Amino acid sequence: MTISHIASRAMWSVACVVVALSVRSADPGAGAATETWAGRAASRALAGHPGLPQLRAPDRARLTPESVALGRKIFFDRRLSLNGTISCGMCHVPEQAFASNELSTAVGFEGRSVKRNAPTLLYIGHLDVLFHDGRETSLETQFVGPLVAHNEMANPSIGRVVDLLRTLPDYRGSFESAFGAPAGLDSIGAALAAYQRTLIAGPSRFDRWRFGGEGKALTEEEQRGFALFSGKAGCARCHVAGTRDAMFTDQKYHDTGYGWWREHIRQSPEATEPVEVAPGVRFNLGRDVVASVSAPQQADLGRYEVTLDPRDLWSFRTPSLRNAALTAPYMHDGGIRTLADVVAFYDAGGRPHARQSPLVRPLGLDAAERAALVAFLGTLTSAGIDELVREARTAPPDNW
Ligand code: HEC
Ligand code: HEC
């Protein structure tokens, strides 16, 4: 072996190391270090913050920088829909609090309508009852639904998605390094769950006031709002705020009158509907006119669709109210535009009918009390959501 051979060998080894290092740093999830965004995100989720219950042990165990980075990539990968156009992140938009602020009900594959509003995924890792009707109970299994729904990502089978993730070259090795096995249903679910469990930001002003001992974090009006929320207005009977933590949901199902009312409107042909014909310009059009140019509006029977128990008709899961100020429009079909209108709905006692929950009844609030409730709801916004948006957009495939 000549000197030049040795020299070129040495240079080759150096080149290999350099290539290896740059490949490593190009992969945002590589390494357990907290210098990577995924490392920081995983630590944030594991640490939690005042006002949040702890994640459960099995959920914590699989929350690693590798699984978080892989989950993010899957979440934003449009190639995983039948014609490569739609990803999870297009309905759960990071800049819109991981919800869809611009649509009452979601629009999926080839413009097909979904009958419900896309909920925020912020704090979703802390809920056990998923979807507006609670038909799923874990993030590890929930993801199959949107991937195969004909009006969401439209895959003919979940096997197709597994095959794709086993063959797309840029996924090579990533499931192995995160989970020690090739892509499969279990590991895809675990990766998506890991990423979604990092979608928690810093504590809200309410958390700091109630659980962090910062007496001045809320204004007097906001404090009055909380007193109403947990007292006279009875909101906390369902949107529970405990003394150790608060998710603002009992994770149960109730008939607030809203679902029943919406179905009543759907069935009444003489009703009109406000239609936005240009930004900010709304006309009340007859339902028959709207129906002539849109897909037929489907009935929504709520929890009944899951249990077929008539007692569950028009019951929906109590949603968390964390970040409610960012997640308009409201209710399962996004039919209420502002928090002030939601409060007015409850103040009027819902839409009384035989099945409505006795916990929803006329409240007799005055204007100042209604305003205080809205002000209080505004204190549930997490600090630092911008960081989650930056993480979401940190690398391809979201910007392919
Ligand atoms: C076409 C828009 C659309 C796409 C694409 C989509 N979702 Fe959703 N997502 C929704 C809607 C609408 C709901 C509520 C459906 C219901 O309650 O029946 C929902 C509900 C959820 C929930 C439950 C939220 C809660 O509050 O209970 C999770 C978690 C979720 N989606 C994650 C995902 C993941 C992961 C993907 C990609 C694999 C995805 N979504 C793709 C529209 C979408
Ligand atoms: C009987 C239980 C119950 C009570 C009492 C109650 N809620 Fe609700 N709340 C619900 C349920 C269930 C939904 C979902 C309804 C739907 O989607 O059709 C909901 C939805 C909401 C939403 C919409 C959230 C979203 O993301 O779409 C807000 C805001 C809200 N409630 C605030 C309040 C306030 C403020 C009060 C008190 C004035 C209150 N709630 C009282 C059960 C309750």
| Ligand 1 contacts CB of residue 148 (under 6 A) | no
Q: How far is the CA of 39 from the centre of ligand 2 (A)?
A: 35
Q: How far is the CA of 146 from the centre of ligand 1 (A)?
A: 6
Rounded to an integer, what distance in angstroms lies between the CA atom of residue 293 and that of residue 309? 34
The Cβ of residue 243 has, within 10 Å, a number of other Cβ atoms equal to 7
The Cβ of residue 234 has, within 10 Å, a number of other Cβ atoms equal to 16
For the CA atoms of 257, 284, 337, 331, the dihedral, rounded to the nearest 10 degrees, stands at 30
Evaluate whether 127 touches 251 at the Cβ level (below 8 Å). Answer: yes
Residue nearest to atom 42 of ligand 1 (CA): 118
Q: How far is the CA of 209 from the centre of ligand 1 (A)?
A: 32
| Ligand 2 contacts CB of residue 314 (under 6 A) | no
Ligand 1 atom nearest residue 192's Cα: 35
Nearest in space to 228 (alpha carbons), one of 371, 345, 374, 369: 369
| Half-sphere CA count of 85, side-chain side, radius 13 A | 11
Q: What is the pLDDT along the chain (400 residues), one digit of tens a residue?
A: 344 443 444 443 433 333 333 333 334 444 445 689 999 999 999 999 999 999 999 999 999 999 999 999 999 999 999 999 999 999 999 999 999 999 999 999 888 889 999 999 999 999 999 999 999 999 999 999 999 999 999 999 999 999 999 999 999 999 999 999 999 999 999 999 999 999 999 999 999 999 999 999 999 999 999 999 999 999 999 999 999 999 999 999 999 999 999 999 888 866 777 787 888 888 888 877 877 887 778 899 999 999 999 999 999 999 999 999 999 999 999 999 999 999 999 999 999 999 999 999 999 999 999 999 999 999 999 999 999 999 999 877 764 4
Evaluate whether 275 touches 104 at the Cβ level (below 8 Å). Answer: no
| Half-sphere CA count of 147, side-chain side, radius 13 A | 22
Q: How far is the CA of 379 from the centre of ligand 1 (A)?
A: 26
Q: How far is the CA of 128 from the centre of ligand 1 (A)?
A: 15
Instruction: Choose one of 127, 230, 247, 318 to mutate for the ligand 2 pocket test, by most ligand atoms within 8 angstroms of C-beta.
Output: 318
